[in-house]
Amino acid sequence: MESAGPSPHPSSSGTSAERGFKKAILRLVKDGPERLAIEAGQIDAIIDPTNGNCILLPAAQRALIEHKVGFRSLIGLAFDWYWQQDEQYRFVSHRGAADEASGFGRDELIGKALWDLAIDNMSEADWQSHRQQLEWRIAYRDLEVRCRDATGRVRHLSISGEPLFDERDAFTGYRGIMRDVTQRKQTQAGLSGDPVGVARAILDALDTAIGVLDQDGILLSSNQAWRSMGTAQQGIGVGAEDGADYLALCEAGGGHIDGVAVAAGIRQVIAGARERFHYDYSRGTGLKRRWFELRITGVVPDAAARAVVSCADITERRRGEQLLVLEYAVVRCLADAEDAAQGLKSVIRMVCESQGWDCGRYFCADRSAGVLRFHESWGLPLAAVEQFLEKSRGMAFKADAGLKGRVYQSGQPLWVLGGTQNADARRDARGARDAGVSSLALAPETGLGGTFIFPVTSQDGIAGVLVFSGCGVCEPDDRMLGTVQVIGAHLGEFLQRRRALDALRKSNARFRVLNELASDWYWEQDTDFRFTEIVGCSAFGNAKFLGMTHWDLPNVVPAEAGWAEHKSQLDARWSFCDFEFATVDADGRQFHYSISGEPIYDDAGTFMGYCGTGLDITKRKRAEIALRESEARLRARAGLSAD
Amino acid sequence: MGRKNGGQETPRPASAAVVVLVLYVTDSGPNSIRAIANLEAICEEHLNGNFRLEIIDVLEYPLRALADGIVVTPSLAKVSPAPASRVVGNLSDKSGVLRALGING
């Protein structure tokens, strides 16, 4: 621990009153180290030798006052009262932050011992034990007593104390703290005193409908959600009142719900044959369809209650699952599609069937013309739907107009509620309101019922829009909007990939056509210059020539020496053009060919072989030979004539 | 600062002479707090546990202070070994304290 430095010189600090005070006390001390220390500010107090009084210097006074204020503040935070008792355990001091309002004023305590107060929760044995603690001068904690205050209210107090001794180690009494724990005690009593009430409050706070059955399947009790669900006619027997035969209600359920199976499952749980029974079902159709989850859980056999029935609305969860399944199905179907049309149609069908919509159409963006052109569709096999789709064929809409144009431009989905919705919904429909036209007028664009339009996106931007129509179209939630965004992206990527593949296919086809026009056959060779492919050649198209080099071909002319230059070109990996060679058939006729080729390398730059074209130049060669022979004859005749 | 008996026992080796000290302070007075801190540092550094220190709060035991002839606080009194000596102030003058206690610093 570091030594502290000397205090600043006292005569230079403090008020005039303090300086006067200091002068007075300096008279009490003689010259010497005490005086020097006072003047140096290193003294807290002076003891008056005449009477032993301790006189505090101003700085020490201030420090002590601050200390007490801080201590009291802490006391106020930590507990309600501070008390002190004399050696006969009578209260001599009692101070608290809430003295007046607490009902425990000084008059109630001062001069009395704890057992003199109107405490009614301590028995004779308890008091004896406490007195023994006091006799043994033991500190005690959290002694809880119950008594009535000045106003007659019941109060619970928690008391802690420690013994006091003087300088001669003589016992002088106790001091301690006291806390009012009345509220805590009342809360505990409330919870422990009425377990049924608390349990009912908890049950009523739950959103899940809860009913409790006895061994005969009679409804013993139910919560608020159970009654509400019954009012909405949504549960299996839910809503039955206390005392009703729940099993009979289940069996009479009807509709597509197997009430008999439900009742049988409940009986098994009640009998202890199974711990739980679970049944999911739905009610309503279209927009009003909702899904529910029925759970029956067994209760301990000794209780009157034998099973707990819970019924929860799982519509949101089920819709989320459906949308997730739809996303996966779209991805799978696009992966399996053989072409763009098949993929588009399959996706449109999947979305319609998943959401209960009548039909869907895809309008492809034609950027050069600035229109959205009908491309593909799918619909239910209904006359009205087929008629509608037929009318759509060949349609083109301006890319910057109408509902489709709005979706194309903004990249955001849009929906219009159909005629089955109420008039307010139609007025509130975005397209109808902003376009200033009725939904009837929009029918050619929106189709039957409502319409939901969302973009198909790719790396190049928005490729087109998907338009779904039907009476089942409703305002989409966030999950639905997320799903259509995913579907639009997958479809856009698929269409872009297909376009690229189609372009490549066409390019390859064009190349083949050009090749066929410019040459008679196409060939490829490996690194040893042996044929691996020959296409289009009647002379060398036979598979027996695969594995041969050009110079290995039967009856080939020139001989080995003639191929030397060509081989050196190949070894040097040069391209070559119009290298001529010939073959001789059994009749001695020569056939002439011209080949051109270039080396092939893989992506890593490794030599893979050669590829090239070949041309049958036999006719040309024979014509050349015939021409030379004719020329020779003419020369010969001319020479003879000259002679 | 409340002290029940004003005493504070410290362990000591059996063979060395024990230095007995009494420090008179005034509750939580600033110089008293400083004196306690300075004295503890000096004892730890120079006495090696070979001391017995008693701290008396004169506000709680004024008669004891009067009987011992204490005039101001904080004051430090060396009771043994002889000669007895006394230092007043907050003991921030370490060399002076060591001199008074007869310790070679």
Mapping DSSP to helix (H, G, I), strand (E, B) and coil, where does residue A607 land?
A: strand
Taking the Cβ of residue B31 and every Cβ of chain A, the question of whether any pair is shorter than 8 Å is answered with: yes
3-state secondary structure A372-422: EEEEEEEECCCHHHHHHHHHHCCCEEECCCHHHHHHHHHCCCEEECCCCCC
Instruction: Classify residue A378 by burial, with Cβ atoms within 10 Å: 0-12, 13-18, 19+.
Output: buried
Residue-wise pLDDT for A166-191, tens only, equals 878 899 999 999 888 887 877 776 66
**Secondary structure (3-state) at A454:** strand
How far is the alpha carbon of A98 from chain B, nearest alpha carbon, in Å?
26
- B73 Cα to chain A: minimum distance (Å): 5
Nearest residue on chain A to B41, alpha-carbon basis: A1
Residue of A554, A556, A585, A551 lying closest to A568 (CA atoms):
A551
Residue A163, preceding bond cis, omega within 30 degrees?
no
Distance CA A228, CA B79 (A): 88
Token pair, residue A562, equals 């003639």
In degrees, rounded to 5, the angle at the alpha carbon of residue A267 between the alpha carbons of residues A262 and A270 is 130
Transcribe A100-118 into DSSP letters. HHHT--HHHHTT-BGGGS-
Q: Is A534 within 8 Å of A563 (Cβ atoms)?
A: no
What are the residues whose beta carbons fall under 8 Å from the beta carbon of A417, sequence distance 6 or more? A425, A426, A428, A429, A439, A450, A473, A474, A475
- What pLDDT sits at residue A63? 84
With CB atoms and an 8 Å threshold, state whether B73 touches A45: yes
Amino acid in position A163: P
Of B37, B65, B93, which is closest to A1 when you measure between CB atoms? B37
Tell me the shortest Cα–Cα distance from B91 to chain A, in angstroms.
Answer: 8
Band the pLDDT of A23: cuts 50, 70, 90.
confident
Say if A347 is an interface residue toward chain B (CB within 8 Å): no
Do residues A179 and A80 lie in contact, with contact meaning Cβ atoms separated by under 8 Å?
yes
**Contact partners, residue A65, CB within 8 Å, separation at least 6:** none
Three-state secondary-structure class, residue A557: strand
How far does the CA of residue A111 sit from the closest CA of chain B (Å)?
24
Q: Which residues of A touch B6 (CB under 8 A)?
A: 167
Burial code (b: 16+ CB inside 10 Å, e: under 16) for A487-511 equals: bbebbbbbbbebeeeeeeeeeeeee
Report how far residue A245's alpha carbon sits from residue A566's, in angstroms, rounded to the nearest whole number.
102
Would you call A3 and B38 a contact, using CB atoms and an 8 Å cutoff?
A: yes
Closest CA to A176 of A148, A143, A130, A145: A143
Distance of alpha carbon B50 from alpha carbon B101, whole angstroms = 13
Q: Report, as an integer, the average pLDDT of A374-381.
A: 93
Interface of A with B in 41-70 (CB under 8 A): 41-47, 49, 52-54, 56, 59-60, 63-64, 67
Among residues of chain A, what percentage have pLDDT more than 90?
Answer: 27
Q: Which of chain B's residues have a Cβ under 8 Å away from the Cβ of A7?
A: 30-31, 90
At A3 the pLDDT is 36
B4 close contact with A: CB closer than 8 A = yes
Average pLDDT over residues A601-627: 89
ipTM: 0.84
Q: Among A388, A390, A414, A410, which Cα is nearest to A466's? A: A414
Q: How confident is the model at residue B7 (pLDDT cuts 50, 70, 90)?
A: very low
Structure tokens at A366: 């034609």
Q: Which residue has the higher pLDDT, A576 or A110?
A: A576
Has residue A104 got a pLDDT over 60? no
Average pLDDT over residues A520-547: 82
A6 CB neighbours in chain B (<8 A) are: 90, 92-93
A539 contacts: CB under 8 Å, gap ≥ 6: A583, A591, A593, A616
- Sort out which chain A residues have CB atoms less than 8 A from B100's CB and list them: none
- Token pair for residue A584? 């001789």
Chains A & B: contacts with CB separation below 8 Å: 118
Determine which helix (DSSP H) or strand (DSSP E) holds A435, and give its type and residue range.
helix A430-435
Sorting pLDDT into bands at 50, 70 and 90, what band is A1?
Answer: very low
Q: Do A118 and A147 touch, CB atoms closer than 8 A? A: yes
A18-45 mean pLDDT: 78
Residue type, A120: D
Span B34-93, pLDDT tens digits: 999 899 889 888 888 888 999 999 988 888 888 888 889 999 999 988 889 999 999 999
| For residue A272, pLDDT beyond 70 | yes
Stretch A6-21: mean pLDDT, rounded? 55
pLDDT band at B1 (very low <50, low <70, confident <90, very high): very low
Mean of the per-residue pLDDT values of chain A: 81
Taking an 8 Å cut-off on Cβ atoms, the answer to whether A1 and B34 are in contact is: no
**Partners of residue B37 in chain A, C-beta under 8 Å:** 1, 3-4
Q: Which of A435-439, A507-511, A536-540, A608-612 has the highest mean pLDDT?
A: A608-612
Task: Note the Cα B77 to chain centre separation in Å.
Answer: 6
- Which residues, 6+ apart, have CB-to-CB distance to A443 below 8 Å? none
The DSSP 8-state label assigned to residue A472 in this structure reads T
Q: What are phi and psi of A523, to 5 degrees?
A: -135, 155
